[in-house]
């Protein structure tokens, strides 16, 4: 088995798909992943692929033209997943896609397609979760910063929603796990940024800044609950404790 390994970013993954495809080893004899294996097996051969513009573009064009732009955006979305088998699943779906065309996404009877949707759904759920539960903190007048700790690499997927919501504010969302961030200057487009260690440490303590509206929000949060309907179990089901870390109302 030959294992193709690349970094977890979309361009590198596209390049990796290109190399895997053109290796002509037979689809059953290769595997793709973005994670270094914990233990290297002697039976497998490992190849590290890095970003190559030409390769990435040719995969992008092939998927868009021969399958469909929808499928392209679906796989790009699922690629934010941190699941070990995400890239490999995408690859398997593309093989089917090149054979059957855009309908591949409806062929849920195939194990790879159904796994693809599990991955896709998990990413979608996490994006949706943070659209709801991101909390911004005003660290100085009119600069709003949020920290999140997502499982998947989804911080970029939050940019569209929050740009539409707050087009004329300065804000930033920081993914503490993967040390990446999106930055939105007032009235401009947002951009994605990998954070250096220095930047990251400097931004780490923003939640300790005093923000008077956090206190007002806590007042509201407590008094809006109806004690006669007290239902912590339901509250926990809907908003699990492990997800509350940055939700200031629970601090």
Q: What residues line the site for other proteins (CB under 8 A)?
A: 106-109, 114, 131-138, 144, 146, 162-169, 187, 211, 213-217, 219-235, 237-239, 247, 249
Residue 56 CB, shortest distance to other proteins, in Å, is 31
Q: How far is the CB of 21 from other proteins (least distance, A)?
A: 27
Tokens for 1, please give them. Answer: 């088995």
Nearest distance, CB of residue 130 and other proteins, angstroms: 9
CB of 110 to other proteins, least distance (A): 11
Neighbour-count burial of 19, counting CB atoms closer than 10 A to its CB (0-12 exposed, 13-18 middle, 19+ buried): buried
Q: 180-184 and 170-175 as β-strands: parallel, antiparallel, unpaired?
A: antiparallel
Looking at the Cβ atoms of 72 and 136, the one nearer to other proteins is: 136
Looking at the Cβ atoms of 95 and 234, the one nearer to other proteins is 234
- Compare residues 55 and 147 and give the one whose CB is closer to other proteins: 147
CB of 223 to other proteins, least distance (A): 4
Closest to other proteins by CB, 11 vs 169, is 169
Question: What is the rounded CA–CA span in Å between residue 17 and residue 7?
Answer: 12
Kind of pairing, strands 143-148 and 191-194? unpaired
Please identify, using beta-carbon distances, which residue of 1 and 219 lies nearer to other proteins: 219
Q: In sequence order, what are the beta bridge partners of 137?
A: 145
Contact between 50 and 90 under an 8 Å Cβ cutoff? The reply is no
Q: How far is CA 224 from CA 84, 132, 220, 227, 244, in A?
A: 42, 18, 6, 9, 18
DSSP string over 60-77: HHHIIIII-HHHHHHHHH
- CB closer to other proteins, 108 vs 204: 108
Gap between the Cα atoms of 85 and 88, Å rounded: 5
Residues in the chain, overall count: 251
Q: Cβ of residue 97: shortest distance to other proteins, in angstroms?
A: 16
């Amino acid at each position: 088995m030959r294992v193709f390994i690349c970094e977890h970013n979309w361009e590198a993954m596209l390049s990796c798909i290109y190399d895997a495809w053109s290796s002509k080893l037979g689809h059953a004899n290769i595997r793709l992943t973005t994670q270094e294996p914990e233990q290297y097996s002697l039976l497998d051969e490992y190849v590290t692929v890095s970003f190559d513009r030409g390769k990435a573009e040719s995969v992008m064009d092939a998927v868009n033209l021969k399958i469909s732009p929808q499928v392209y955006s679906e796989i790009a979305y699922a690629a934010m997943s941190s699941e070990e088998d995400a890239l490999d699943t995408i690859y398997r779906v593309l093989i089917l896609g090149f054979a059957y065309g855009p309908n591949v996404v409806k062929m849920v009877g195939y194990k790879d397609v159904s796994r693809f949707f599990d991955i896709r759904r998990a990413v979608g759920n996490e994006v949706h979760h943070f659209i709801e539960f991101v909390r911004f903190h005003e660290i100085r007048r009119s600069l709003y910063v949020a920290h999140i700790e997502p499982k998947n690499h989804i911080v970029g997927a939050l940019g569209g929603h929050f740009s539409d919501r707050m087009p004329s504010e300065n804000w930033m969302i920081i993914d503490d796990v993967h040390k990446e961030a999106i930055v939105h200057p007032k009235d401009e487009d947002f951009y994605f940024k990998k954070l250096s260690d220095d930047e990251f440490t400097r931004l780490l303590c923003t939640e300790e800044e005093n923000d008077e509206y956090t206190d007002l929000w806590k007042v509201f949060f407590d008094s809006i609950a109806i004690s006669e309907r007290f239902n912590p179990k339901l509250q926990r089901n809907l908003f699990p404790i492990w997800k509350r870390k940055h939700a200031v109302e629970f601090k």
